Amino acid sequence: MADRATPPDGSITGWVDDRAASPPRAHILGMRVDHVEFGEAARLIADWAAEGGASRYVCAANVHMTMEAHDDPAFQTVVNGADLVLADGVPMVWGLRALGLSQERRVRVSPDLLYALFDACQERGIKLGLYGGSPETLRVFCDWLAREYPRLQLACAIDPPFRPPTADEDERYTRLIRESGAQLLLVGIGCPKQEKWMAAHAGALPCTMFGVGAAFDLLGGRTKNAPAWMRDRGLEWLYRLALEPRRLWRRHLFNDPRFLVLLARQALRERAR
């Protein structure tokens, strides 16, 4: 598992020499983002899950996560301690490029990377677990999985309460996941809750955990996907804002301008060194 140390804000670490298998990485506003393209990300996660036994967690970075980490050093430590931090949002690609890493494209988690992982689970016999979503969302998503991936082994599907689970509930959910034999656990309870949950259960669950945000809603058909031209131009946030303005307006109007200004400052500092 990756080290849990938090780097100085604004630093770039470049090539990592503590683990031979670690990809190059940068720290965007202090939060680590790995320079990993789509195919390598899919291979790494599937291989980790197939190996089994080890407890790992994977984060999908976007502007929201970056700003949460910038504002909360404890959360920054959680993300920086992950085994893999993917550049899920287009602004993460801009950030990596600005800091000297030639990321070609975003690693789009939902649905592209998840489709690749579902294929891998089906072909390699990897047991899939789900944690998150409402009972209805999870039911629709499980029905969709059964139709689209009939040979995929669904080990467990747990819909925790929207409030923080009690100690007894958390112990029961942890036991159910462990006893199910899930090797790849998709955690869809939103940022920053899902990242904190994965970090808290690292070591307790012998599987690869992957924070997937609202993927259950998207793949279950409750929310719509942005058009390809908007996704490719980094405008997916605008599409989602139009769909859910009351929930998302504050996040985007507060976080997005700050992110751009702070990233520009960091990039200028790096170039001046």
Cis peptide before 111 (omega within 30 of 0): yes
* pLDDT over 90 at 123, yes or no: yes
- Structural domain spans, the chain: 25-272
Task: List CB contacts of 101: < 8 A, sequence separation 6 or more.
Answer: 24, 25, 26, 35
- What 3 state SS string does 204-250 have? CECCEEEECCCHHHHHCCCCCCCCHHHHHCCCHHHHHHHHCHHHHHH
Work out the mean pLDDT of the chain and round it to a whole number: 87
**Confidence grade of residue 272 (pLDDT, cut at 50, 70, 90):** confident
**What is the Cβ-side half-sphere exposure of residue 71, based on CA atoms within 13 angstroms?**
11
Q: The whole model's pTM is what?
A: 0.85
Distances in Å between the alpha carbon of 219 and those of 57, 167, 225, 237, 256?
21, 30, 9, 18, 26
* pLDDT over 90 at 64, yes or no: yes
Sign of CA dihedral 217, 219, 222, 224: positive
The pLDDT, as a whole number, for residue 12 is 30
User: What three-state secondary structure class fits 73?
Assistant: helix
Q: What is the pLDDT of residues 201-242, one digit of tens each?
A: 999 999 999 999 989 988 866 666 666 655 565 656 555 655
Q: What is the pLDDT of residues 87-112, one digit of tens each?
A: 998 999 999 999 999 999 999 998 99
Give the residue ranges of DSSP H helices in the chain: 38-51, 63-71, 73-80, 90-98, 114-124, 135-148, 167-180, 193-201, 215-219, 228-232, 236-243, 245-272
Average pLDDT on 188-200 reads 97
C-alpha span between 189 and 210 (Å, rounded): 11
